Protein backbone atom coordinates (compact mmCIF):
# COMPACT_ATOMS: atom_id res chain seq x y z
CA UNK A 1 0.00 0.00 0.00
CA UNK A 2 1.18 3.53 -0.74
CA UNK A 3 1.53 5.73 2.36
CA UNK A 4 -0.75 8.31 0.73
CA UNK A 5 -3.59 5.79 1.11
CA UNK A 6 -3.11 5.28 4.85
CA UNK A 7 -6.04 6.36 6.98
CA UNK A 8 -5.32 4.63 10.29
CA UNK A 9 -1.84 3.85 11.57
CA UNK A 10 -1.13 1.96 14.80
CA UNK A 11 2.09 2.57 16.73
CA UNK A 12 2.73 -0.31 19.12
CA UNK A 13 3.43 0.12 22.83
CA UNK A 14 3.13 -2.99 24.97
CA UNK A 15 3.08 -1.02 28.23
CA UNK A 16 -0.41 0.25 27.37
CA UNK A 17 -1.92 -3.06 26.31
CA UNK A 18 -2.84 -4.40 29.75
CA UNK A 19 -2.75 -8.18 29.92
CA UNK A 20 -2.80 -8.52 26.11
CA UNK A 21 0.21 -9.07 23.90
CA UNK A 22 1.24 -6.73 21.10
CA UNK A 23 0.42 -9.36 18.45
CA UNK A 24 -3.07 -9.66 19.94
CA UNK A 25 -3.55 -5.90 19.70
CA UNK A 26 -2.22 -5.83 16.14
CA UNK A 27 -4.43 -8.72 15.08
CA UNK A 28 -7.50 -6.94 16.47
CA UNK A 29 -6.48 -3.70 14.73
CA UNK A 30 -6.05 -5.57 11.46
CA UNK A 31 -9.52 -7.06 11.86
CA UNK A 32 -10.76 -3.50 12.43
CA UNK A 33 -9.23 -2.24 9.19
CA UNK A 34 -5.89 -0.70 10.18
CA UNK A 35 -3.76 0.39 7.20
CA UNK A 36 -0.27 0.45 8.74
CA UNK A 37 1.49 -0.75 11.88
CA UNK A 38 4.67 0.71 13.32
CA UNK A 39 6.81 -1.52 15.53
CA UNK A 40 8.01 0.83 18.25
CA UNK A 41 8.61 -0.86 21.63
CA UNK A 42 11.67 1.28 22.40
CA UNK A 43 11.80 -0.02 25.97
CA UNK A 44 12.62 -3.58 24.87
CA UNK A 45 15.88 -5.17 23.78
CA UNK A 46 16.95 -5.41 20.16
CA UNK A 47 16.45 -9.17 20.28
CA UNK A 48 12.93 -8.81 21.64
CA UNK A 49 12.03 -6.25 18.99
CA UNK A 50 13.44 -8.49 16.28
CA UNK A 51 11.44 -11.50 17.45
CA UNK A 52 8.27 -9.44 17.87
CA UNK A 53 8.89 -7.93 14.45
CA UNK A 54 8.89 -11.38 12.87
CA UNK A 55 5.50 -12.11 14.42
CA UNK A 56 4.08 -8.81 13.25
CA UNK A 57 5.53 -9.30 9.78
CA UNK A 58 3.62 -12.56 9.42
CA UNK A 59 0.38 -10.96 10.59
CA UNK A 60 0.67 -7.83 8.46
CA UNK A 61 1.92 -9.60 5.34
CA UNK A 62 -1.02 -11.99 5.38
CA UNK A 63 -3.43 -9.07 5.75
CA UNK A 64 -1.76 -6.77 3.23
CA UNK A 65 -1.01 -4.18 5.91
CA UNK A 66 2.20 -2.15 5.80
CA UNK A 67 4.73 -2.77 8.60
CA UNK A 68 7.06 0.08 9.54
CA UNK A 69 9.88 -0.12 12.10
CA UNK A 70 10.61 2.84 14.33
CA UNK A 71 14.21 4.05 14.10
CA UNK A 72 15.92 0.67 13.65
CA UNK A 73 16.90 0.28 10.01
CA UNK A 74 18.73 -2.96 10.82
CA UNK A 75 15.62 -4.55 12.28
CA UNK A 76 13.53 -3.32 9.36
CA UNK A 77 15.94 -5.08 7.01
CA UNK A 78 16.13 -8.22 9.13
CA UNK A 79 12.37 -8.78 9.24
CA UNK A 80 11.71 -7.56 5.69
CA UNK A 81 9.50 -4.71 6.87
CA UNK A 82 7.97 -2.31 4.37
CA UNK A 83 9.95 0.59 5.73
CA UNK A 84 11.22 2.64 8.63
CA UNK A 85 10.19 5.74 10.53
CA UNK A 86 12.88 8.06 11.87
CA UNK A 87 12.82 11.01 14.23
CA UNK A 88 14.87 14.17 14.33
CA UNK A 89 17.51 12.52 16.54
CA UNK A 90 17.69 9.26 14.55
CA UNK A 91 19.67 8.49 11.40
CA UNK A 92 18.83 11.02 8.66
CA UNK A 93 16.13 10.32 6.10
CA UNK A 94 18.72 10.28 3.32
CA UNK A 95 20.75 7.58 5.06
CA UNK A 96 17.64 5.46 5.64
CA UNK A 97 16.76 5.80 1.98
CA UNK A 98 20.27 4.84 0.86
CA UNK A 99 20.32 1.76 3.10
CA UNK A 100 16.79 0.54 2.40
CA UNK A 101 16.56 1.40 -1.28
CA UNK A 102 14.04 3.20 -3.45
CA UNK A 103 11.14 0.83 -2.84
CA UNK A 104 11.10 1.13 0.95
CA UNK A 105 8.71 3.46 2.76
CA UNK A 106 10.61 6.09 4.76
CA UNK A 107 8.74 8.30 7.20
CA UNK A 108 9.97 11.10 9.42
CA UNK A 109 8.65 12.76 12.57
CA UNK A 110 8.47 16.53 12.50
CA UNK A 111 6.64 19.43 14.10
CA UNK A 112 7.97 22.38 12.10
CA UNK A 113 7.73 23.55 8.51
CA UNK A 114 11.51 23.75 8.16
CA UNK A 115 12.03 20.16 9.32
CA UNK A 116 9.16 18.98 7.13
CA UNK A 117 10.68 20.56 4.03
CA UNK A 118 14.09 19.11 4.86
CA UNK A 119 12.64 15.62 5.27
CA UNK A 120 10.76 15.87 1.98
CA UNK A 121 13.89 17.07 0.17
CA UNK A 122 15.85 14.16 1.64
CA UNK A 123 13.41 11.63 0.23
CA UNK A 124 10.79 10.99 2.92
CA UNK A 125 7.59 9.35 1.67
CA UNK A 126 5.42 10.71 4.46
CA UNK A 127 5.63 12.82 7.62
CA UNK A 128 4.36 12.10 11.10
CA UNK A 129 3.39 15.50 12.51
CA UNK A 130 2.74 16.10 16.20
CA UNK A 131 2.08 15.77 18.89
CA UNK A 132 -1.19 17.27 17.69
CA UNK A 133 -2.82 17.12 21.10
CA UNK A 134 -1.49 16.50 24.57
CA UNK A 135 -0.21 12.95 24.99
CA UNK A 136 1.60 10.84 27.55
CA UNK A 137 2.30 7.98 25.13
CA UNK A 138 5.49 9.33 23.59
CA UNK A 139 8.00 12.12 23.99
CA UNK A 140 7.21 15.25 22.01
CA UNK A 141 9.31 18.31 21.34
CA UNK A 142 6.56 20.90 21.57
CA UNK A 143 5.35 20.23 25.07
CA UNK A 144 2.44 18.22 26.33
CA UNK A 145 -0.21 20.63 25.05
CA UNK A 146 0.54 19.69 21.43
CA UNK A 147 0.88 21.74 18.27
CA UNK A 148 -2.78 21.60 17.26
CA UNK A 149 -4.49 20.99 13.90
CA UNK A 150 -3.30 24.42 12.79
CA UNK A 151 0.27 23.15 12.55
CA UNK A 152 -0.96 20.24 10.44
CA UNK A 153 -2.54 22.69 8.00
CA UNK A 154 0.62 24.82 7.86
CA UNK A 155 2.85 21.84 7.09
CA UNK A 156 0.36 20.38 4.57
CA UNK A 157 0.58 23.65 2.66
CA UNK A 158 4.39 23.56 2.74
CA UNK A 159 5.04 20.05 1.36
CA UNK A 160 3.69 17.67 -1.26
CA UNK A 161 4.06 14.36 0.60
CA UNK A 162 1.32 12.87 2.83
CA UNK A 163 0.94 13.95 6.44
CA UNK A 164 -0.08 11.61 9.26
CA UNK A 165 -1.14 13.37 12.44
CA UNK A 166 -0.03 11.80 15.72
CA UNK A 167 -0.31 12.53 19.41
CA UNK A 168 -3.44 12.47 21.57
CA UNK A 169 -5.71 11.67 18.63
CA UNK A 170 -9.00 9.90 19.32
CA UNK A 171 -12.19 9.16 17.42
CA UNK A 172 -13.58 12.31 19.04
CA UNK A 173 -10.97 14.72 17.66
CA UNK A 174 -9.65 12.97 14.52
CA UNK A 175 -12.10 14.92 12.35
CA UNK A 176 -10.26 18.18 13.04
CA UNK A 177 -6.93 16.61 12.08
CA UNK A 178 -8.25 15.31 8.76
CA UNK A 179 -10.01 18.60 8.03
CA UNK A 180 -6.64 20.31 8.50
CA UNK A 181 -5.29 18.23 5.62
CA UNK A 182 -3.82 15.09 7.19
CA UNK A 183 -4.10 12.00 5.00
CA UNK A 184 -4.55 9.88 8.10
CA UNK A 185 -3.88 9.59 11.81
CA UNK A 186 -1.46 7.54 13.89
CA UNK A 187 -2.49 6.43 17.36
CA UNK A 188 -1.12 4.48 20.27
CA UNK A 189 -3.48 4.66 23.25
CA UNK A 190 -6.73 4.98 21.30
CA UNK A 191 -6.37 1.42 20.05
CA UNK A 192 -3.82 -0.24 22.34
CA UNK A 193 -5.46 0.79 25.61
CA UNK A 194 -9.02 0.26 24.36
CA UNK A 195 -11.09 -2.51 25.92
CA UNK A 196 -12.02 -3.56 22.37
CA UNK A 197 -9.16 -2.64 20.00
CA UNK A 198 -11.01 -3.86 16.92
CA UNK A 199 -14.04 -1.69 17.65
CA UNK A 200 -11.77 1.26 18.46
CA UNK A 201 -10.05 0.85 15.08
CA UNK A 202 -13.37 0.64 13.27
CA UNK A 203 -14.64 3.77 15.02
CA UNK A 204 -11.51 5.74 14.17
CA UNK A 205 -11.58 4.59 10.54
CA UNK A 206 -15.23 5.51 10.30
CA UNK A 207 -14.59 9.07 11.45
CA UNK A 208 -11.76 9.52 8.96
CA UNK A 209 -13.68 8.10 6.01
CA UNK A 210 -16.76 10.16 6.82
CA UNK A 211 -14.70 13.33 7.17
CA UNK A 212 -12.91 12.71 3.88
CA UNK A 213 -16.15 11.98 2.08
CA UNK A 214 -17.55 15.41 2.95
CA UNK A 215 -14.30 17.36 2.59
CA UNK A 216 -14.11 20.11 0.00
CA UNK A 217 -10.83 18.71 -1.29
CA UNK A 218 -8.99 21.98 -0.70
CA UNK A 219 -6.24 20.23 1.27
CA UNK A 220 -6.84 16.68 0.11
CA UNK A 221 -3.87 14.70 -1.10
Q: Is 138 one of the annotated active-site residues of the chain?
A: yes
Q: How many residues does the chain have?
A: 221
Catalytic residue among 7, 27, 40, 97: 40
Catalytic residue among 3, 17, 109, 111: 109
- Measured CA to CA, the distance from residue 164 to residue 3 in angstroms comes to 9
End-to-end CA distance of the chain: 15
Catalytic residue among 97, 138, 151, 198: 138
Q: Which residues contact 109 (CB under 8 A, 6 or more apart)?
A: 85, 86, 87, 88, 127, 128, 129, 130, 166
Q: Is 45 one of the annotated active-site residues of the chain?
A: no
- Measured CA to CA, the distance from residue 174 to residue 210 in angstroms comes to 11
Q: Is 40 one of the annotated active-site residues of the chain?
A: yes
Residues identified as active-site = 40, 109, 138
Amino acid sequence: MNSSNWRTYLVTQASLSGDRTTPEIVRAAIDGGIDAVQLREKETSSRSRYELGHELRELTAEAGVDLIVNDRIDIAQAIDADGVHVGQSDLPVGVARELLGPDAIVGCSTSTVAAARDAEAAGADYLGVGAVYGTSSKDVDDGKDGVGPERIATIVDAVEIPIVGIGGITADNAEEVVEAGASGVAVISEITAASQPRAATEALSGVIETTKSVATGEHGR
